[in-house]
A and B are shown apart, each in its own frame.
Chain A
Amino acid sequence: MKSKGKSYYLIPYYLWIALFVIAPVLLVVYYSLFDLDGKLTLDNYVNFFTPVYMRMMLNSFWYAFLITLFSLLVAYPAAYLLTRTKHKQLWLLLIILPTWINLLLKTYAFIGIFGTFGPVNNFFDLVGLGEQQILFTGFSFVFVSVYIFIPFMILPIFSALDEMNLSLVDAARDLGASGWTTFRRVVFPLTISGVRSGCMAVFIPALSLFMITRLIAGNRVITLGTAIEQHFLVTQDWGMGSTVAVFLIAIMALFMILTGSSRKGGRA
């Protein structure tokens, strides 16, 4: 009886899902079926399979992959060290702190830092490397994106590591496993769920990044997000913009099915 009463509490949640998750996706699919003149057509989908959009998709994938990879490489050791520190909560707060600052502000700051006359180039000059172009390169794009996404990678990994029973590590070492084997066979498999949700929290938004592509990469990196922004704001070709969005949604869904366990639904 008790459990039945509780199901009423789910109504707001279902309403929310229907109104703000399912309805928008359906609307996007609906809009993708119309061309500029409001005619019902599949042209947008045909258009998507032209080299321009295919290359854009590969680009988006490649950069989202790099961003996720580097975030993971930095975040995992960081999260590991965090669980070993004395004032865990303080350190965690310090990592979350940058997310309180508006994304655009952080991005703008990097224009100054990476600029021709910025501190990084000053340093390069000092050590005799000479002036390098850092801003408006693929490198700066990945760097800034990783910087922005890292807290979202650290948090789930941190909680997974924190929940892990440390005596398991001792047991593994007792039984003669080397440090690396312990990590590979015990620690990593036990925290894979954290890694998975971290990757999801980074990879999916990274696929559709758009502001940073202009501000930091100077439109040298064009992702599907850029295309959507252009189609909606400039061209007002909502059909094509929606089509790109449909493919993004499909890719994301596919990614979630491939990586996700049914237990963790992700954050859509």
Chain B
Amino acid sequence: MKQLVNTFLAILIVAFGLMFLASRLNSAEGYSGGNTLTIYNWGDYIDPELLEQFQEETGITVIYQTFDSNEAMLTKVEQGGTVFDVVVPSDYAIAKMREEKLLLPLDHSKLPNLANIGSKFMDLSFDPGNLYSVPYFWGTVGIIYNPEMTEGIDFSSWDSLWDKRLDNNIFLVDGAREVMGMALNSLHYSVNDRNEEHLQEALTKLNRLSPNVKAIVGDEIKMLLANEEAAVGIVWSGDASEIMDENDKLDYVVPEEGSNIWFDNMVIPRGAANIEGAHKFINFMLRPDVAAQNTEYVGYSTPNVPALELLPEDISGDERFYPPAEITDRLEVYDNLGKRMLAHYNELFLKFKMNKK
């Protein structure tokens, strides 16, 4: 019994000691207020030099933290244990955060550089009027393929995926919206279609794709495609650029029937401590020279028009990441379909998954 008590005491002492140490460390890193700005962004999603430049220009100390999924970010912001001043969620996460009242409205008068954002990237369905969010980067869903393994198949149409030569050679990303959207697009319907007949048609068409599908996977898709485990994959353009960095044999295309366009956006979450600084930071990131430098570093597509003009031709002219207008006109954001419709999409996707052998 005595031994037990002693053990307990030892654990308690260690725990308190660690707590004290943690609070000391936190205050040493400047978490305890003052003129600091806490930014919560995806990993490796900003040029670190820009953070230094921002600190020099404004005198605000930046604390930079990263996350690797919208869900992880949402959990942390919801819990509210840490104070964040600027967060960079994706479009659907913004719709969700808006519903849950996790966002603070932006003061547009403090964001003069907002005018630099192209008009087609503004006022989108997940945040009408850009009351809460400013686009940071954008991208598409498309086909990544290995020309050496695909015998010259032309991937400018979604229908090319149904080619018999691709038997057991396609990776799909494990997302109901992406896969259903792809099938709907191939039938020239919208990625947000709610018509039951259209959805059933899409499912039938997907089931015919089964023999070509090698696997439906998550984030591993990047590693698998870079290792040439299969010739073709349906991926987000951001992942595609990462895969192509690792294996330059691969190529990416956005099919002409249309596809999804996604956005990562800067927002100010509820509970932000330095709202003034957050506006300054967002406005700073919208400056053409800053946005251009950041785009060169990150490699995603920028919505900043003057920044794009500053970029070298081999980036701004790359039609894989800046598709021409006739394609961008056919790109759609995933609307918030509502729980019921989303469940239906997932059910159809589950049926498709069950169907393959």
Contacts and interface: CB of A to CB of B under 8 A. Distances in A.
B353 interface: yes
Closest 4 CB pairs of A and B: A218-B215, A219-B216, A136-B215, A235-B346
A51 to B, nearest CB: 9
Interface string B334-357: 000001101100110011011011
A235 B343 contact: yes
A35 to B, nearest CB: 9
7 contacts: A52-B351, A111-B224, A135-B215, A215-B217, A218-B217, A222-B353, A236-B342
A133 B228 CA distance: 13
Interface stretch (A148-156, A226-234, A255-263): A226-234
Given A56-B354, A116-B229, A220-B357, A136 B339 contact: no
A111 B350 CA distance: 23
Given A55-B354, A220-B215, A220-B357, A135 B346 contact: no
Contacts, number: 73
Size range of the interface on B? 20 to 34
B105 interface: no
Nearest to A59: B354
B8 to A, nearest CB: 14
B220 interface: yes
A73 interface: no
Contacts of A135: 215, 229
B218 interface: yes
Contacts of A37: 339-340
Contact of B354 (A117, A222, A233, A240): A222
Interface residues of A, number: 29
Contacts of B347: 52, 235
Interface string A146-189: 00000000000000000000000000000000000000000000
Interface of A: 36-37, 52, 55-56, 108, 111, 115-117, 133, 135-136, 214-215, 217-220, 222, 227, 230-231, 233-237, 240
Contacts of B340: 36-37
A199 to B, nearest CB: 27
A136 B215 CA distance: 6
Contact of A227 (B214, B215, B350): B350
B227 interface: yes
Among B228, B339, B347, B350, which residue has the most Cβ atoms of chain A within 10 A? B350
Interface in B122-175: 168, 171, 174
Contact of B220 (A52, A55, A215, A240): A215
Contacts of B354: 52, 55-56, 222
B176 interface: yes
B107 interface: no
Given A133-B168, A135-B229, A218 B216 contact: yes
Contacts of A133: 168, 214
